[in-house]
Amino acid sequence: MNVQFVRLLGKQQGFSVTFRNHQLSSLIVVQIHQMPPEQLGVILNAIASRVTRENL
């Protein structure tokens, strides 16, 4: 799942995802508005797996 898709899905679900790429780590800021917990879990898992792969 790429960053663009995560951002698009976030827009559809009513929240924004901001990626700040640093040299040693990636900080992810997620703003949530009226999102079901299961949806949030799916999004965060996808983002976390993406960042983990990029940092390896």
The residues spanned by each domain of the chain are: 3-55
pTM: 0.37
Rounded percentage of the chain residues whose pLDDT exceeds 70: 30
Q: Show the tokens assigned to 1.
A: 């799942």
* pLDDT tens per residue across span 33-55: 666 777 777 877 777 776 666 55
How far apart CA 10 and CA 39 sit, in angstroms, is 10
Sequence-distant (≥ 6) Cβ neighbours of residue 51 within 8 angstroms? 26, 28
Q: What is the mean pLDDT of the chain?
A: 64
Answer for the pair 25, 55: CB distance below 8 angstroms, yes or no: yes
CB neighbourhood size of 47 (10 A): 19
Which position has the higher pLDDT, 24 or 28?
28
Q: Show the tokens assigned to 8.
A: 């698009």
pLDDT at 22 over 50: no
